[in-house]
Amino acid sequence: MQVAVIGGGVVGVSTAYFLAAAGHQVVVIERYGNVAQETSYGNAGLLSASQAVPWAAPGMPRKIVSRLLKSETSVLLKPTMDAALWRWVRKWLPECDPERFRINTRRMQRVALYSQHLMRQVRDHYDMRYDQTTGLLQLFRTPQDVEAARSAIELLVEAGIEHRLIDTDAARAIEPALGVHTPLAAALHFPADESGNCPLFSRHLKNITQQLGAEFHFNSTVKNIEPDGERLRFHIDDRSFTADAVVLAAGIDSMELLAPLGIHVPLYPVKGYSATAFIKNFDQAPLASLFDETYKVAITRLGSRIRVAGTAELGSRTLHLHGTALRTLAKVGDDWFPDAANYNTSTFWCGARPMLADETPLIGPTPIRNLYINIGHGSSGWTMAAGCGKIVSDLVSGQTPDVDMEGLTLARYGKA
Protein backbone atom coordinates (compact mmCIF):
# COMPACT_ATOMS: atom_id res chain seq x y z
CA MET A 1 0.00 0.00 0.00
CA GLN A 2 0.98 3.64 -0.38
CA VAL A 3 1.07 4.96 3.18
CA ALA A 4 1.68 8.57 4.20
CA VAL A 5 2.94 9.18 7.74
CA ILE A 6 2.32 12.73 8.94
CA GLY A 7 4.95 13.81 11.46
CA GLY A 8 8.65 13.02 11.67
CA GLY A 9 9.04 12.82 15.44
CA VAL A 10 10.30 9.62 17.03
CA VAL A 11 6.78 8.18 16.83
CA GLY A 12 6.34 8.95 13.12
CA VAL A 13 9.82 7.69 12.19
CA SER A 14 9.31 4.45 14.15
CA THR A 15 5.94 3.92 12.45
CA ALA A 16 7.50 4.57 9.03
CA TYR A 17 10.28 2.09 9.75
CA PHE A 18 7.90 -0.77 10.57
CA LEU A 19 5.63 0.07 7.62
CA ALA A 20 8.60 0.11 5.22
CA ALA A 21 9.96 -3.11 6.74
CA ALA A 22 6.53 -4.69 6.11
CA GLY A 23 6.88 -3.82 2.41
CA HIS A 24 4.66 -0.75 2.13
CA GLN A 25 5.50 2.26 -0.03
CA VAL A 26 5.99 4.91 2.65
CA VAL A 27 6.19 8.71 2.56
CA VAL A 28 6.89 10.71 5.73
CA ILE A 29 5.79 14.34 5.72
CA GLU A 30 7.46 16.63 8.22
CA ARG A 31 7.20 20.39 8.50
CA TYR A 32 10.78 20.90 9.74
CA GLY A 33 14.03 20.20 7.86
CA ASN A 34 14.87 16.96 9.69
CA VAL A 35 13.34 14.36 11.98
CA ALA A 36 12.89 14.76 15.77
CA GLN A 37 12.97 18.56 15.84
CA GLU A 38 10.03 19.07 18.21
CA THR A 39 9.17 17.22 21.43
CA SER A 40 11.43 14.32 20.46
CA TYR A 41 14.41 16.71 20.38
CA GLY A 42 15.37 17.50 23.96
CA ASN A 43 13.58 14.89 26.05
CA ALA A 44 15.18 13.15 29.01
CA GLY A 45 16.10 10.13 26.92
CA LEU A 46 14.70 7.43 29.22
CA LEU A 47 13.72 4.18 27.55
CA SER A 48 12.04 2.97 30.64
CA ALA A 49 9.06 0.69 31.14
CA SER A 50 9.26 1.33 34.90
CA GLN A 51 8.68 5.07 34.42
CA ALA A 52 5.83 4.58 31.94
CA VAL A 53 3.42 5.52 34.72
CA PRO A 54 0.75 8.24 34.60
CA TRP A 55 1.18 11.41 36.63
CA ALA A 56 -2.52 11.03 37.40
CA ALA A 57 -2.00 9.00 40.56
CA PRO A 58 -3.70 8.82 43.97
CA GLY A 59 -2.69 11.85 46.05
CA MET A 60 -1.24 13.72 43.07
CA PRO A 61 -3.72 16.66 43.00
CA ARG A 62 -2.89 17.48 46.64
CA LYS A 63 0.84 17.13 45.95
CA ILE A 64 0.58 19.47 42.95
CA VAL A 65 -1.29 22.15 44.90
CA SER A 66 1.29 22.00 47.72
CA ARG A 67 4.12 22.54 45.22
CA LEU A 68 2.65 25.27 43.06
CA LEU A 69 4.14 28.21 44.94
CA LYS A 70 7.56 26.71 45.69
CA SER A 71 10.64 28.32 44.14
CA GLU A 72 11.72 24.91 42.83
CA THR A 73 8.90 22.61 41.78
CA SER A 74 7.86 19.74 39.56
CA VAL A 75 4.64 21.51 38.46
CA LEU A 76 3.93 24.99 37.13
CA LEU A 77 0.51 26.41 36.39
CA LYS A 78 0.28 29.56 34.30
CA PRO A 79 -2.94 31.46 35.09
CA THR A 80 -4.91 31.24 31.87
CA MET A 81 -8.42 31.47 30.47
CA ASP A 82 -7.63 28.63 28.05
CA ALA A 83 -10.91 26.66 28.23
CA ALA A 84 -9.19 23.61 26.70
CA LEU A 85 -6.91 23.41 29.75
CA TRP A 86 -9.78 23.39 32.23
CA ARG A 87 -11.70 20.83 30.15
CA TRP A 88 -8.55 18.68 30.17
CA VAL A 89 -8.03 19.11 33.95
CA ARG A 90 -11.67 18.09 34.54
CA LYS A 91 -11.00 14.87 32.63
CA TRP A 92 -7.56 14.34 34.23
CA LEU A 93 -8.68 14.59 37.90
CA PRO A 94 -10.86 11.43 37.93
CA GLU A 95 -7.89 9.52 36.47
CA CYS A 96 -6.14 9.97 39.87
CA ASP A 97 -8.57 7.45 41.37
CA PRO A 98 -6.63 4.33 42.55
CA GLU A 99 -8.43 1.97 40.15
CA ARG A 100 -8.04 4.32 37.15
CA PHE A 101 -4.33 4.66 38.04
CA ARG A 102 -3.96 0.87 37.95
CA ILE A 103 -5.80 0.57 34.63
CA ASN A 104 -3.79 3.35 32.96
CA THR A 105 -0.45 2.06 34.32
CA ARG A 106 -1.18 -1.48 33.09
CA ARG A 107 -2.01 -0.16 29.62
CA MET A 108 1.09 2.04 29.42
CA GLN A 109 3.45 -0.63 30.72
CA ARG A 110 2.01 -3.24 28.37
CA VAL A 111 3.02 -1.05 25.42
CA ALA A 112 6.32 0.05 27.01
CA LEU A 113 7.50 -3.51 27.64
CA TYR A 114 6.62 -4.58 24.10
CA SER A 115 8.42 -1.50 22.83
CA GLN A 116 11.53 -2.20 24.90
CA HIS A 117 11.72 -5.67 23.39
CA LEU A 118 11.39 -4.38 19.81
CA MET A 119 13.83 -1.54 20.42
CA ARG A 120 16.53 -4.01 21.46
CA GLN A 121 15.87 -6.11 18.36
CA VAL A 122 16.15 -3.09 16.03
CA ARG A 123 19.22 -1.74 17.81
CA ASP A 124 21.06 -5.07 17.73
CA HIS A 125 20.05 -5.86 14.15
CA TYR A 126 21.41 -2.57 12.80
CA ASP A 127 24.16 -2.18 15.42
CA MET A 128 22.85 1.29 16.26
CA ARG A 129 24.73 3.66 18.58
CA TYR A 130 22.88 6.53 20.19
CA ASP A 131 24.69 7.23 23.50
CA GLN A 132 22.76 4.41 25.12
CA THR A 133 23.22 3.37 28.77
CA THR A 134 21.65 0.53 30.75
CA GLY A 135 20.14 0.66 34.25
CA LEU A 136 18.03 3.26 36.04
CA LEU A 137 17.87 4.35 39.67
CA GLN A 138 14.66 5.91 40.95
CA LEU A 139 15.59 8.07 43.93
CA PHE A 140 13.29 8.66 46.92
CA ARG A 141 14.38 11.57 49.11
CA THR A 142 11.99 10.81 51.99
CA PRO A 143 10.35 7.72 53.55
CA GLN A 144 6.98 9.31 52.60
CA ASP A 145 8.01 9.22 48.92
CA VAL A 146 8.82 5.50 49.28
CA GLU A 147 5.44 4.90 50.92
CA ALA A 148 3.62 6.82 48.17
CA ALA A 149 5.25 4.55 45.58
CA ARG A 150 3.87 1.31 47.11
CA SER A 151 0.96 0.92 44.68
CA ALA A 152 3.26 1.59 41.71
CA ILE A 153 5.68 -1.05 43.07
CA GLU A 154 2.84 -3.60 43.25
CA LEU A 155 2.14 -2.92 39.57
CA LEU A 156 5.82 -3.43 38.70
CA VAL A 157 5.60 -6.90 40.22
CA GLU A 158 2.41 -7.62 38.29
CA ALA A 159 3.95 -6.39 35.00
CA GLY A 160 7.10 -8.46 35.58
CA ILE A 161 9.37 -5.39 35.45
CA GLU A 162 12.68 -6.35 37.05
CA HIS A 163 13.36 -4.11 40.08
CA ARG A 164 14.95 -4.05 43.52
CA LEU A 165 14.26 -1.67 46.43
CA ILE A 166 17.70 -0.79 47.78
CA ASP A 167 19.25 1.33 50.52
CA THR A 168 21.57 4.31 50.20
CA ASP A 169 24.80 2.27 50.22
CA ALA A 170 23.56 -0.03 47.48
CA ALA A 171 22.45 2.99 45.41
CA ARG A 172 25.92 4.54 45.79
CA ALA A 173 27.52 1.26 44.75
CA ILE A 174 25.59 1.55 41.47
CA GLU A 175 26.19 5.31 41.02
CA PRO A 176 29.40 6.04 42.96
CA ALA A 177 29.30 9.81 42.28
CA LEU A 178 25.83 10.26 43.79
CA GLY A 179 25.90 13.39 46.03
CA VAL A 180 26.28 12.62 49.74
CA HIS A 181 24.72 15.84 51.03
CA THR A 182 21.26 15.22 49.59
CA PRO A 183 18.94 13.07 51.73
CA LEU A 184 18.18 9.70 50.17
CA ALA A 185 15.72 7.38 51.92
CA ALA A 186 15.86 4.53 49.38
CA ALA A 187 16.06 3.82 45.69
CA LEU A 188 14.52 1.44 43.19
CA HIS A 189 16.97 -0.13 40.79
CA PHE A 190 15.77 -1.15 37.32
CA PRO A 191 18.63 -3.04 35.67
CA ALA A 192 16.81 -3.50 32.34
CA ASP A 193 15.77 0.13 31.76
CA GLU A 194 17.83 2.13 29.30
CA SER A 195 18.43 5.66 28.10
CA GLY A 196 19.90 7.35 25.06
CA ASN A 197 19.83 10.22 22.63
CA CYS A 198 16.38 10.31 21.03
CA PRO A 199 17.11 12.62 18.04
CA LEU A 200 20.29 10.69 17.23
CA PHE A 201 18.31 7.43 17.29
CA SER A 202 15.59 9.00 15.14
CA ARG A 203 18.12 10.12 12.51
CA HIS A 204 19.68 6.63 12.38
CA LEU A 205 16.24 5.07 12.01
CA LYS A 206 15.32 7.59 9.30
CA ASN A 207 18.43 6.53 7.29
CA ILE A 208 17.55 2.84 7.69
CA THR A 209 13.93 3.54 6.71
CA GLN A 210 15.12 5.41 3.59
CA GLN A 211 17.29 2.41 2.69
CA LEU A 212 14.12 0.30 2.91
CA GLY A 213 12.63 2.56 0.22
CA ALA A 214 10.71 5.18 2.22
CA GLU A 215 10.76 8.84 1.19
CA PHE A 216 10.99 11.75 3.63
CA HIS A 217 9.51 15.08 2.57
CA PHE A 218 10.80 17.83 4.83
CA ASN A 219 9.70 21.47 5.12
CA SER A 220 6.19 20.30 4.20
CA THR A 221 3.18 21.05 6.36
CA VAL A 222 -0.03 19.07 5.91
CA LYS A 223 -2.99 21.47 6.01
CA ASN A 224 -5.85 19.00 6.10
CA ILE A 225 -6.89 15.41 5.46
CA GLU A 226 -10.11 14.28 3.78
CA PRO A 227 -11.63 11.03 2.53
CA ASP A 228 -11.48 10.55 -1.25
CA GLY A 229 -13.36 7.38 -2.15
CA GLU A 230 -11.31 4.44 -0.88
CA ARG A 231 -8.26 6.67 -0.51
CA LEU A 232 -7.34 9.70 1.59
CA ARG A 233 -6.48 13.11 0.23
CA PHE A 234 -4.24 15.61 1.99
CA HIS A 235 -2.96 19.06 1.15
CA ILE A 236 0.55 20.44 1.45
CA ASP A 237 0.61 24.15 0.66
CA ASP A 238 -1.47 24.39 -2.54
CA ARG A 239 -0.66 20.86 -3.72
CA SER A 240 -2.92 17.88 -3.16
CA PHE A 241 -1.88 14.21 -2.77
CA THR A 242 -3.61 10.91 -2.15
CA ALA A 243 -2.58 7.72 -0.37
CA ASP A 244 -4.14 4.33 0.36
CA ALA A 245 -3.69 4.99 4.06
CA VAL A 246 -2.54 7.84 6.29
CA VAL A 247 -1.00 7.54 9.75
CA LEU A 248 -1.27 10.70 11.80
CA ALA A 249 1.72 11.01 14.17
CA ALA A 250 1.92 14.79 14.42
CA GLY A 251 2.37 15.00 18.19
CA ILE A 252 0.43 17.79 19.86
CA ASP A 253 -0.67 19.25 16.50
CA SER A 254 -2.55 16.08 15.60
CA MET A 255 -5.66 17.65 17.13
CA GLU A 256 -5.79 20.37 14.48
CA LEU A 257 -5.94 17.77 11.73
CA LEU A 258 -8.43 15.53 13.54
CA ALA A 259 -10.96 18.17 14.65
CA PRO A 260 -12.27 19.01 11.12
CA LEU A 261 -12.92 15.27 10.69
CA GLY A 262 -15.12 15.28 13.79
CA ILE A 263 -12.57 13.44 15.93
CA HIS A 264 -12.02 15.19 19.27
CA VAL A 265 -9.64 13.77 21.86
CA PRO A 266 -8.57 15.20 25.25
CA LEU A 267 -5.02 16.03 24.17
CA TYR A 268 -3.25 18.96 25.82
CA PRO A 269 0.34 20.28 25.62
CA VAL A 270 2.09 19.72 28.95
CA LYS A 271 5.31 21.65 28.68
CA GLY A 272 8.55 20.11 29.95
CA TYR A 273 12.12 21.33 30.18
CA SER A 274 15.64 20.00 29.84
CA ALA A 275 19.11 21.28 30.65
CA THR A 276 22.08 19.71 28.87
CA ALA A 277 25.59 20.36 30.12
CA PHE A 278 29.02 19.11 29.11
CA ILE A 279 30.69 17.00 31.79
CA LYS A 280 33.64 18.81 33.34
CA ASN A 281 34.60 16.07 35.78
CA PHE A 282 34.01 12.54 34.47
CA ASP A 283 34.75 10.87 37.86
CA GLN A 284 31.84 12.79 39.36
CA ALA A 285 29.29 12.13 36.60
CA PRO A 286 26.41 9.62 36.49
CA LEU A 287 27.14 6.31 34.76
CA ALA A 288 23.59 5.75 33.54
CA SER A 289 20.16 7.28 34.24
CA LEU A 290 18.31 8.32 37.38
CA PHE A 291 14.86 9.62 38.24
CA ASP A 292 14.30 11.92 41.23
CA GLU A 293 10.81 10.95 42.36
CA THR A 294 10.31 14.00 44.58
CA TYR A 295 10.95 16.52 41.79
CA LYS A 296 9.93 14.15 38.95
CA VAL A 297 13.19 15.02 37.21
CA ALA A 298 15.34 12.61 35.19
CA ILE A 299 19.14 12.73 34.98
CA THR A 300 20.69 10.94 32.02
CA ARG A 301 24.19 10.45 30.80
CA LEU A 302 24.43 11.19 27.07
CA GLY A 303 28.03 10.43 26.14
CA SER A 304 30.11 13.38 27.33
CA ARG A 305 27.02 15.32 28.40
CA ILE A 306 24.49 15.16 31.22
CA ARG A 307 20.84 15.92 30.66
CA VAL A 308 18.52 16.92 33.48
CA ALA A 309 14.87 16.99 32.40
CA GLY A 310 11.41 17.32 33.83
CA THR A 311 8.78 19.79 35.11
CA ALA A 312 5.19 19.85 33.95
CA GLU A 313 3.96 23.31 33.02
CA LEU A 314 0.26 23.70 32.35
CA GLY A 315 -1.42 26.64 30.69
CA SER A 316 1.39 27.77 28.41
CA ARG A 317 1.25 27.16 24.68
CA THR A 318 4.47 29.05 23.89
CA LEU A 319 8.03 27.75 24.04
CA HIS A 320 9.06 30.52 26.44
CA LEU A 321 11.55 29.26 29.07
CA HIS A 322 10.23 29.67 32.62
CA GLY A 323 12.89 30.59 35.21
CA THR A 324 11.40 28.37 37.94
CA ALA A 325 11.67 25.30 35.73
CA LEU A 326 15.29 26.02 34.85
CA ARG A 327 16.13 26.63 38.52
CA THR A 328 14.52 23.33 39.47
CA LEU A 329 16.59 21.41 36.91
CA ALA A 330 19.83 23.10 38.03
CA LYS A 331 18.99 22.33 41.66
CA VAL A 332 18.33 18.65 41.01
CA GLY A 333 21.56 18.38 38.97
CA ASP A 334 23.50 20.10 41.78
CA ASP A 335 21.84 17.97 44.45
CA TRP A 336 22.87 14.66 42.95
CA PHE A 337 26.00 15.31 40.86
CA PRO A 338 27.32 18.66 42.12
CA ASP A 339 30.83 18.39 40.68
CA ALA A 340 29.98 16.81 37.34
CA ALA A 341 28.91 19.90 35.38
CA ASN A 342 27.94 23.53 35.61
CA TYR A 343 24.18 23.27 35.23
CA ASN A 344 23.58 27.02 35.16
CA THR A 345 25.41 27.28 31.84
CA SER A 346 23.50 24.36 30.29
CA THR A 347 21.73 24.48 26.97
CA PHE A 348 18.11 24.86 28.05
CA TRP A 349 15.18 23.56 26.02
CA CYS A 350 11.45 23.06 26.38
CA GLY A 351 8.88 21.03 24.49
CA ALA A 352 5.21 20.09 24.68
CA ARG A 353 4.33 16.59 25.81
CA PRO A 354 1.28 15.48 23.80
CA MET A 355 -0.71 14.40 26.85
CA LEU A 356 -4.11 12.74 26.94
CA ALA A 357 -6.13 13.09 30.14
CA ASP A 358 -5.69 9.37 30.87
CA GLU A 359 -2.05 9.49 29.62
CA THR A 360 -2.23 6.25 27.59
CA PRO A 361 -1.50 6.69 23.87
CA LEU A 362 -4.18 6.31 21.21
CA ILE A 363 -3.15 3.89 18.48
CA GLY A 364 -4.99 2.45 15.51
CA PRO A 365 -8.01 3.06 13.30
CA THR A 366 -10.34 6.07 13.30
CA PRO A 367 -13.94 6.40 12.08
CA ILE A 368 -12.40 7.67 8.80
CA ARG A 369 -11.58 4.65 6.67
CA ASN A 370 -7.82 4.07 6.26
CA LEU A 371 -6.91 6.94 8.58
CA TYR A 372 -4.88 5.69 11.55
CA ILE A 373 -3.56 7.57 14.56
CA ASN A 374 -0.46 7.15 16.70
CA ILE A 375 -0.75 9.99 19.21
CA GLY A 376 -0.84 11.03 22.86
CA HIS A 377 2.32 9.38 24.20
CA GLY A 378 2.76 12.04 26.88
CA SER A 379 5.87 11.57 29.02
CA SER A 380 6.88 8.24 27.50
CA GLY A 381 6.84 8.75 23.73
CA TRP A 382 10.30 7.46 23.01
CA THR A 383 9.82 4.51 25.36
CA MET A 384 6.67 3.52 23.47
CA ALA A 385 7.60 4.57 19.93
CA ALA A 386 8.83 1.22 18.61
CA GLY A 387 5.89 -0.73 20.07
CA CYS A 388 3.28 1.76 18.85
CA GLY A 389 4.93 1.94 15.41
CA LYS A 390 4.81 -1.83 15.01
CA ILE A 391 1.20 -2.01 16.22
CA VAL A 392 0.08 0.58 13.64
CA SER A 393 2.06 -1.13 10.91
CA ASP A 394 0.40 -4.46 11.76
CA LEU A 395 -3.06 -2.85 11.70
CA VAL A 396 -2.43 -1.14 8.35
CA SER A 397 -1.22 -4.51 7.00
CA GLY A 398 -4.42 -6.20 8.19
CA GLN A 399 -2.55 -8.25 10.80
CA THR A 400 -3.39 -8.76 14.45
CA PRO A 401 -0.91 -6.86 16.68
CA ASP A 402 1.24 -8.85 19.10
CA VAL A 403 -0.19 -6.99 22.11
CA ASP A 404 -3.70 -6.86 23.51
CA MET A 405 -5.27 -3.65 22.14
CA GLU A 406 -7.70 -3.25 25.05
CA GLY A 407 -7.80 0.42 26.05
CA LEU A 408 -5.31 1.57 23.41
CA THR A 409 -7.69 2.68 20.66
CA LEU A 410 -10.31 5.40 20.18
CA ALA A 411 -12.85 2.83 21.38
CA ARG A 412 -11.99 3.84 24.94
CA TYR A 413 -13.64 7.21 24.21
CA GLY A 414 -16.46 5.44 22.38
CA LYS A 415 -15.30 6.71 18.99
CA ALA A 416 -13.92 3.81 16.93
Ligand X SMILES: Cc1cc2nc3c(=O)[nH]c(=O)nc-3n(C[C@H](O)[C@H](O)[C@H](O)COP(=O)(O)OP(=O)(O)OC[C@H]3O[C@@H](n4cnc5c(N)ncnc54)[C@H](O)[C@@H]3O)c2cc1C
The answer to whether 246 contacts ligand X (rule: CB under 6 A) is: no
Tell me which stretch binds ligand X (CB under 6 A): 31-39, 125-133, 168-176, 324-332: 31-39
Distance CA 358, CA 360 (A): 6
Determine whether 143 is exposed, middle or buried from the number of CB atoms within 10 Å of its CB (0-12, 13-18, 19+): exposed
Q: Which is nearer to ligand X, 46 or 178 (CB)?
A: 46
Distance CA 38, CA 350 (A): 9
Strand partners of residue 375: 362
Work out how close the CB of 277 gets to ligand X at its nearest, in angstroms, rounded to a whole number: 15
Q: Which of 3, 5, 7, 232 binds ligand X (CB under 6 A)?
A: 7
The answer to whether 253 contacts ligand X (rule: CB under 6 A) is: yes
Q: Which of 3, 4, 21, 29 binds ligand X (CB under 6 A)?
A: 29
Q: Which of 5, 27, 44, 60 binds ligand X (CB under 6 A)?
A: 44
Tell me which stretch binds ligand X (CB under 6 A): 26-34, 53-61, 96-104, 317-325: 26-34
The answer to whether 60 contacts ligand X (rule: CB under 6 A) is: no
The answer to whether 382 contacts ligand X (rule: CB under 6 A) is: yes
Distance CA 144, CA 95 (A): 22
By the 8 A CB rule, do 45 and 197 touch? yes
Strand partners of residue 242: 233
Work out how close the CB of 227 gets to ligand X at its nearest, in angstroms, rounded to a whole number: 18
CA dist 299 → 199, 243, 305, 398 (Å): 17, 42, 11, 40
Helices (H) and strands (E) in the chain, counts: 11, 19
The answer to whether 333 contacts ligand X (rule: CB under 6 A) is: no
The answer to whether 389 contacts ligand X (rule: CB under 6 A) is: no
Q: Which is nearer to ligand X, 354 or 364 (CB)?
A: 354
At how many degrees (to 10) do helices 381-396 and 98-126 cross? Answer: 80
For residue 31, what are the contacts with CB-CB under 8 A and spacing of at least 6? 219, 220, 221, 222
Subset of 262-301 contacting ligand X (CB under 6 A): 272-274, 298
Q: In a 3-state reduction of DSSP, which class is residue 99?
A: helix
Q: Which is nearer to ligand X, 256 or 339 (CB)?
A: 256
Q: Which is nearer to ligand X, 23 or 393 (CB)?
A: 393
The answer to whether 379 contacts ligand X (rule: CB under 6 A) is: yes
Distance CA 59, CA 165 (A): 22
CA dist 279 → 88, 136, 348 (Å): 39, 19, 15
Q: Which of 27, 222, 232, 299 binds ligand X (CB under 6 A)?
A: 222
Tell me which stretch binds ligand X (CB under 6 A): 69-77, 141-149, 161-169, 349-357: 349-357
Give contact residues for ligand X (rule: CB under 6 A).
6-12, 29-32, 37-40, 43-46, 221-222, 249-251, 253, 272-274, 298, 309, 351, 353-354, 377-383
